[in-house]
Amino acid sequence: MPGVTTLTRSLTSLDAGLPLESLKALDWLNFFIAALLVGFGPFVAVHLAENGWAPASIGVILIGGLAGLITQVPAGELIDVIGSKRALVGAAAAAAALALTIFGLRSDFPSVAGAAIIQGGVGSVLGPSVAAISLGLVGHNALAERLGRNQRFASIGGLSAAGIMGAIGYLLSTRDIFLAAAALAIPLLWALLRIRGADIHFGRSCGASDHHGTKPNRVSRRSLFKDVRFLAFVACLFLFQLANASILPQVSQLLAHSEGHSSSLAISALIVVPQIVVALLAPWVGRTAATWGRRPLLLLGLAALPIRSGFFALTTDPSLLIIIQALDGFSGATLGVLTPLIVADLTNGTGRFNLAQGLAGTFSGVGASLSTLTAGIVTQRFGYMAGLLGVTGVGLMAVVVVLEFMPETKPALPRPPGVPTSDQEQLQSGKARL
Is residue 68 within 8 Å of residue 354, measured between CB atoms? no
Question: In this predicted model, which residue has the larger pLDDT, 43 or 4?
Answer: 43
Same fold, 22-206 and 221-410: yes
- Whether residue 321 contacts residue 267, with contact meaning beta carbons closer than 8 Å, is answered with no
SS3 338: helix
Of the pLDDT bands very low, low, confident and very high (cuts 50, 70, 90), residue 425 is: very low
**% of residues, the chain, pLDDT over 70:** 86
pLDDT digits (tens, 9 = 90+) for 298-318: 999 999 999 999 999 888 888
pLDDT reading at 382 higher than 70: yes
Of 46-55, 59-68, 80-89, 160-169, the range with the lowest mean pLDDT is 46-55
pLDDT reading at 41 higher than 80 = no
- Whether residue 12 is predicted with pLDDT greater than 70 in this model: the reply is no
377-378-383-388 Cα dihedral, nearest 10 degrees? -120
Cα 274 to Cα 271: distance, rounded to the nearest angstrom: 6
pLDDT at residue 173, rounded to an integer: 84
Position with higher pLDDT, 260 vs 188 = 188
Residues facing 208 on adjacent strands? 349, 350
The mean pLDDT value for 265-293 works out to: 91
Contacts of 432 (CB under 8 A, 6+ apart): none
Which superfamily does 221-410 belong to?
A: MFS general substrate transporter like domains (1.20.1250.20)
- Dist CA 414 CA 34 (whole Å): 35
22-206 CATH fold: Growth Hormone; Chain: A; (1.20.1250)
Closest CA to 305 of 234, 385, 399, 211: 399
Q: Which of 243, 255, 367, 363 is nearest to 306 (CA)?
A: 243
Closest-CA residue to 355 (of 17, 35, 1, 79): 79
CB-based contacts of 67: which residues, under 8 Å, 6+ apart? 116, 117, 118, 119, 120, 121
Q: Quote the pLDDT of residue 260.
A: 61
Cα–Cα distances in angstroms (integers) from residue 120 to residues 61, 113, 117, 188, in the given order: 9, 11, 5, 19
> Is residue 280 pLDDT above 50, yes or no?
yes
Q: Where are the domains of the chain?
A: 22-206, 221-410
SS (H, E, C) 92-143: HHHHHHHHHHHHHHCCCHHHHHHHHHHHHHHHHHHHHHHHHHHHHHHCCCCH
Task: With cut-offs at 50, 70 and 90, classify the pLDDT of residue 355.
Answer: very high
Look at residue 123 in the predicted model and tell me its pLDDT: 92
Work out the average pLDDT over 193-213: 86
| 181-191: average pLDDT | 97
Identify the pLDDT of residue 414: 58
